Amino acid sequence: MTNRLDTAAATNLGLRAALVTGATSGIGWHLALQLADAGVRVVALGRNRHKLAELSRLKPCILALEADLADVNSLPGLAMRIGAAAPELNCVIHNAGIQHNVRVDDEGYDLRAIEEELDTNLLAPIALTRALLPALQSRERSWIVHVSSGLAYAPKRTSAVYSASKAALHLFGAGLRLQLRGTSVRVLEAVMPLVDTPMTLGRGRRKLAADEAAAALLAGLSLPGGVFHIGQARALPILRRVAPGLLARLMSAG
């Protein structure tokens, strides 16, 4: 079991206020709660207003904001609301994600659904990062964390667009890391295994519990930067190097 972030660890890191997208379920829900337990001010974004209200009731230090990240025109205003709500913001965790488990030629999978995936999974993290970056750069230490998966490296047969969005986010993070080298901003990518969340309902076995995934991600904040793998995803770098064909077959089945 991964040790939970505690108040002493958060203080030692200099973690003051954090943004968590996709906070109303799964990994994001536990990220928000664990950060709050460690005394960190949390801005929690999500679309489910009832779950957001529950978060705020559970932890008064969580400010819950209802937001649809697929509404790209609202993102500049959303970034201003986040900055006003958390002037000490120094950690941004891009956790929100949408995966349509379909073939591209499936009936009903239209341009609107494709745009929803790309806007939520890729455009929103880029746009929010750009808007919040000046504030993050002004901090003594800050973090930008992308929640990723093995599908960024080998696609799933029935999630081509989701896989493409994660691959693009991986490269965006790598490019951003180059740009911010030597600054106070650490750019991290947390590669998850199959995690027990609403997105993976009915899929796979031996899933990592969402609270364990959240704890492992927060433990990764102590790393200097770059890509780190959680749980069974630690096998990915080895498979990519010595058995890429096997990795492709494993990931394609989802």
Tell me whether residue 119 is in a domain: yes
Tell me whether residue 2 is in a domain: no
Tell me whether residue 195 is in a domain: yes
Residue 168 pLDDT: 97
Q: How many domains does the chain have?
A: 1
Residue 173 structural domain: 7-253
Instruction: Identify which of 73, 165, 70, 169 has the alpha carbon closest to the alpha carbon of residue 120.
Output: 70
Expressed in angstroms, the distance from the first to the final Cα of the chain is: 25
**Enclosing H/E stretch for 188:** strand 185-192
Tell me whether residue 98 is in a domain: yes
Residue 68 pLDDT: 96
Tell me whether residue 26 is in a domain: yes
User: pLDDT class for 204, splitting at 50, 70, 90?
Assistant: low
Distance between CA 83 and CA 86 in Å, rounded? 5
Decide: pTM greater than 0.85.
yes
Tell me whether residue 1 is in a domain: no
Tell me whether residue 188 is in a domain: yes
pLDDT tens-digit readout, 93-145: 999 999 999 999 998 899 999 999 999 999 999 999 999 999 999 999 999 99
pLDDT tens-digit readout, 180-194: 999 999 999 999 998
Asked if 194 contacts 208 with a C-beta cutoff of 8 angstroms, the reply is: yes
Tell me whether residue 210 is in a domain: yes
CA distances from 85 to 28, 81, 237 (A): 19, 6, 39
Tracing tokens 């008064």 back to the chain, one arrives at: 60
- Positions annotated as catalytic residues are 162
Residue 156 pLDDT: 87
pLDDT tens-digit readout, 230-242: 998 888 777 778 7
CATH number at residue 226: 3.40.50.720
